[in-house]
Amino acid sequence: MRIGVVSDTHNHLKNVARIVELFVAARVDRVIHTGDITQAKTLRVLAGVGVPVSGVFGNNDLERESLEAACRALHMAFVEPPLEVTWCDRRIVVVHDEREFEGLDLAACDLALFGHDHRFALERRRGTLVFNPGECAGHMPGLNAVGIVDLETLHAERLRF
């Protein structure tokens, strides 16, 4: 299973449309958003990926009622962090801010995803793959990126756009 990882879209609809194109071309099976969607119209564009979308809310997701209504209408599953799922026998934890990993047993997970700081991170911590694909909201031109994680191999790659 291949999952697309996106963070901090901050309602940049042109970039979200490009992200959908990248994920469709990469043939992802699911998408995880690590928060800071900002507005419901972002979710409507992201739904164009045509696969299940889930994730967590971030500190800039202040329009919670409209975001939650869009999630229900689009059959997306977003929660307050942490989100913990098991797909393909891999335990995955998702937070918005890396500091939200505090108090969680990362060693019990195979994959830990976060966003918030718009900075790329890919490392192993006590055997757990920790990944933040980085900027994709257009705040830093030329640095936009999303991620793809292959759950079979636990290989992560970054797609820049």
Ranges of each domain in the chain: 2-160
Indicate the pTM of the whole model.
0.96
* Domain 2-160 is found in CATH 3.40.190.10: no
Task: Report residue 15: phi and psi, to 5°.
Answer: -70, -35
Of the candidates 151, 60, 150, 148, the one whose C-alpha atom is nearest the C-alpha of residue 161 is: 148
> Which of the four pLDDT bands, split at 50, 70 and 90, describes residue 71?
very high
Spatial distance between the Cα atoms of 154 and 99, rounded to a whole number of angstroms: 23
pLDDT at 137 over 90: no
pLDDT at 142 over 80: no
pLDDT at 105 (0 to 100)? 95
Q: Across the chain, what does the average pLDDT equal? A: 96
> Which of the four pLDDT bands, split at 50, 70 and 90, describes residue 141?
confident
What residue type is 144 in one-letter code? N
pLDDT at 89 (0 to 100)? 97
What one-character DSSP code corresponds to residue 26?
H
Angle at 161 between CA 116 and CA 58, to 5 degrees: 15
